[in-house]
Amino acid sequence: MVEDLAVVFIYDDETNTLKMSNVSRRAIRSTLDRAMFVDIPETPEAPLDDESARRLGALALRCLAEAHPDRPHD
């Protein structure tokens, strides 16, 4: 069900690849209950558009890079 969808990004150290997956939120509920979230509201003044998608992608990559400081990143 689409309403139950979560998108998960991980960095795989063994293959040096970024992986993305769609996962049921029910399957990871206990992890989500303990997670810290950053709310990104959509408003007429700040729509979720191409620019916000670019910034969100950059934020996701930065978070992954900080979690893997031993990996080179430019």
Q: pTM to 2 decimals?
A: 0.65
Give residue 20's pLDDT band: very low, low, confident or very high (50, 70, 90): very high
In angstroms, the CA 25 to CA 7 distance is 9
Q: How many CA atoms lie within 13 A of 28 on its CB side?
A: 14
Which residues lie across from 6 on neighbouring strands? 23
Mean pLDDT value across residues 50-70: 86
Q: What integer pLDDT is reported at residue 72 of this predicted model?
A: 63
Cite the beta strand spans of 1-74 per DSSP E: 5-12, 17-24
